[in-house]
C-alpha cells in the first residue's frame, strides 16, 4: 500500500521508474551497448568519488541514465551516458557529439523535474556527459572514458516573497 501511494505521488510529479533491466526504449544490440556503457560510466564515476543514487529514472521530460551525488557531497549530478563500439581510433564519431541542442534542452527539463520531485531546492544541480568508447583494434581492446562536467547547469529556482 505504501509503495503504491509513493508510486502515485511520483507519477503526479512526473517521475516514474524505468525497468531495472536497462535503457527503456532500446532493444537488442543497442540496449546491450547502452547497458554496458552505463555500467562502465558508473564504475568510472565511483572511482572519482561520486555516489550513484539511482539509475534509469524516467520523468515526463525524458530519462536520466544515472543520478549521482558529486564528491563535494552537496551537488546533485544528472549523468547522460553515450557509448559506442568502434573498430579503430581514426575517424571516430565521438559519442558525446550525439548530444545536440534538443537533447540539452530535454536534459535541463529532466534535471528541473528531479530537483522539484526530490526537494533539491537548496542544492546545486548540473548535468554531466560521460562518453564511453570501446575501441576494438585487431587483437587489442581498450575502453576510453571521457567525463564532461557541467554541460548544463540548472539555475536555482527563484525565491518567492512571502
Can you tell me the distance from the alpha carbon of 129 to that of 20, in angstroms, rounded to the nearest whole number? 21
Range of the domain at 45: 2-154
Residue 106 domain-assigned (yes or no): yes
Mean pLDDT along residues 63-82: 96
Closest alpha carbon to 66 in 84, 86, 44, 95: 44
Residue 161 domain-assigned (yes or no): no
Whether 82 shows a pLDDT value over 90: the answer reads yes
Name the one residue in this structure whose C-alpha cell is 561520486.
50
Q: Does the pTM of the predicted model rise above 0.85?
A: no
**pLDDT tens sequence across 137-160:** 767 788 899 999 998 878 776 666
CATH number, domain of 12, equals 3.40.1350.10
| Number of folded domains that form the chain | 1
* Total number of residues shown for the chain: 162
Residue 162 domain-assigned (yes or no): no
Mean pLDDT along residues 88-116: 85
Residue 79 domain-assigned (yes or no): yes
Whether 125 shows a pLDDT value over 80: the answer reads yes
Whether 7 shows a pLDDT value over 80: the answer reads no
Residue 76 domain-assigned (yes or no): yes
Amino acid at each position: 500500500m505504501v509503495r503504491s501511494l509513493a508510486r502515485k505521488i511520483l507519477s503526479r510529479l512526473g517521475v516514474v521508474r524505468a525497468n531495472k533491466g536497462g535503457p527503456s526504449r532500446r532493444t537488442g544490440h543497442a540496449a546491450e551497448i547502452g547497458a554496458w556503457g552505463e555500467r562502465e560510466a558508473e564504475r568510472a564515476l565511483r572511482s572519482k568519488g561520486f555516489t550513484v543514487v539511482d539509475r534509469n529514472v524516467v520523468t515526463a521530460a525524458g530519462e536520466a541514465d544515472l543520478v549521482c551525488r558529486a564528491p563535494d557531497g552537496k551537488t546533485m549530478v544528472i549523468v547522460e551516458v553515450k557509448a559506442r563500439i568502434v573498430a579503430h581510433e581514426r575517424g571516430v564519431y565521438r559519442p558525446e557529439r550525439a548530444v545536440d541542442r534538443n537533447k540539452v534542452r530535454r536534459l535541463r527539463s529532466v534535471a528541473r523535474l528531479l530537483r522539484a520531485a526530490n526537494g533539491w531546492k537548496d542544492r546545486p544541480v548540473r548535468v554531466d556527459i560521460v562518453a564511453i568508447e570501446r575501441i576494438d583494434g585487431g587483437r587489442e581492446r581498450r575502453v576510453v572514458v571521457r567525463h564532461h562536467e557541467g554541460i548544463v547547469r540548472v539555475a536555482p529556482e527563484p525565491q518567492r516573497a512571502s
